[in-house]
Structure 1
């Protein structure tokens, strides 16, 4: 809604948003360059830039070097019911709470990446190794078939675990994936903990997900612990653009919240 006290940059952002929604600027189109757009609107360059940056923060456009602000495809938002149950599929192995739907085909964008790279401090802390230790990272960018990149997934496997299960470092980890190979190597049955947070993307993450660098991302970190050593041996970090997903949880009543309410007896 635009009112008399609405800042000019916000009024301009609202107008350009309407033009995008009406199809004047379709997916892939480049918005008018800042200087001529500002002159036509009778505002300063910085005011026009603030309007475009507001649209960028909403995920509607993306600033591309030497091109300008490009209109992005409007992604569908997915409702993800977050449970705490890990299931198993005969073909895929373990299935964690995620955004996929039963029998929905997904595809990989680009080529999956695997290499020994320096473990960042957070991952190193989880694995109990010095920061910078060369650690196996398996990276892939995936989405439902036909959709733009939906998530970037990095799996880090501790050096000791790779030594126990060398196939985890191979291009194909076989039926059930790397988790089955780790458990077969003596670490099963593994257990997992999950942490969820919202943060700003790193530059490389924004590029791989083709999102604005100011678009918040949802990050989930799952840490797998060995039953044999009782130490974490793998860390999987999944990042999803903030405009692509919303989390849903079904709330349960405790006994103290049961209905009908039990009357409180008054002391005589």
Structure 2
């Protein structure tokens, strides 16, 4: 076992035993190099391993902070979009029925250059100033769980100007788009894992070494067949797992038909 993995294992065991508690800090680099008899590079690699596992996070001017371990939440990724009389459309999410969630900070809306991935899905040139609606949410009392960015096309803003306001009214921005003549909107969802941007890791309060699960929902107008909105949801990978129910096709019914030799 490489020396950095031995160091990581030792520190991991100490964290899990409670010697280093959530909210506290690991010893400084200088102390760790002396304690383990290794160079700073070995300690840096060991800390990077613990960062990827979601156990610690180096914080400027604070040190190596031990993070609270949060259980994974299961998301059933069905194909059904529901409708709530108060909230409007409801997509498959990590929340449980009746569970209170909270918003971290203030939701914002601003015009920012379109990232490459969003530009690809929105069919617009990269870097184009585009309206972005951002919110950071989590179950009540927990650290930030997900960063949600909704990007709206110029066509969407032109036809439904209210989507650019902080408060979009009952049913949210999707209702405003459909009322403007784009309904019924259809959606397709893309899922992938990737490393977070510096901005995302700061907003989610995670290490840049922690991968994130990204879901991208793309909404298309029934009137023009153009993409109106792209919603990117970023969730730390150590906090969620996807669950999909597998169903038998007609050719896989039970009992199976066996070929007689």
The question of a shared fold, defined as TM-score above 0.5 by the shorter chain, is answered with: yes
Moved more, 141-150 or 7-16: 7-16
2:35 counterpart of 1:40: yes
Unaligned runs of 5+ in 1: 1-5
2:137 counterpart of 1:133: no
* 1:80 counterpart residue number: 75
The whole-number CA distance in structure 1 between the counterparts of 2:168 and 2:46 is: 48
What is the TM-score when the length of structure 1 is the normalising length?
0.94
The whole-number CA distance in structure 2 between the counterparts of 1:264 and 1:13 is: 54
Q: Does the aligned pair in 2 maintain the 1:75–1:148 contact within 8 Å? A: no
What is the TM-score when the length of structure 2 is the normalising length?
0.96
The whole-number CA distance in structure 2 between the counterparts of 1:40 and 1:235 is: 50
* Deviations 1:77-97, CA, capped at 9 Å, x for gaps: 101111111011111110111
Q: Does the aligned pair in 2 maintain the 1:218–1:239 contact within 8 Å? A: yes
2:66 counterpart of 1:51: no
2:225 counterpart of 1:230: yes
* 1:28 counterpart residue number: 23
**1:33–1:231: structure 2 CA closer, same or farther, 3 Å change rule?**
same
Cα distance, 1:26 vs structure 2: 1.3
Alignment partner of 1:91 out of 86, 89, 102: 86
Secondary structure of residue in 1 paired with 2:51: helix
Secondary structure of residue in 2 paired with 1:97: coil
2:175 counterpart of 1:163: no
The whole-number CA distance in structure 2 between the counterparts of 1:223 and 1:11 is: 45
Aligned residues, how many? 261
Alignment partner of 2:118 out of 123, 137, 141: 123
Unaligned runs of 5+ in 2: none
Alignment partner of 2:185 out of 186, 190, 206: 190
The whole-number CA distance in structure 2 between the counterparts of 1:223 and 1:45 is: 45
The whole-number CA distance in structure 2 between the counterparts of 1:50 and 1:117 is: 35
Q: Does the aligned pair in 2 maintain the 1:83–1:249 contact within 8 Å? A: yes
Secondary structure of residue in 2 paired with 1:243: helix
Secondary structure of residue in 2 paired with 1:15: helix
The whole-number CA distance in structure 2 between the counterparts of 1:48 and 1:158 is: 47
Moved more, 61-70 or 204-213: 61-70
Cα distance, 1:248 vs structure 2: 0.8
The whole-number CA distance in structure 2 between the counterparts of 1:114 and 1:83 is: 29
Secondary structure of residue in 1 paired with 2:107: strand
The whole-number CA distance in structure 2 between the counterparts of 1:123 and 1:50 is: 33
Alignment partner of 2:216 out of 217, 221, 224: 221
Cα distance, 1:25 vs structure 2: 1.4
Larger Rg: 1
Secondary structure of residue in 1 paired with 2:22: coil
The whole-number CA distance in structure 2 between the counterparts of 1:188 and 1:114 is: 23
Secondary structure of residue in 2 paired with 1:181: helix
Would you identify which runs of 4 or more consecutive aligned residues in structure 1 move more than 4 Å? none
2:8 counterpart of 1:13: yes
Q: Give the CA RMSD over aligned residues.
A: 1.3
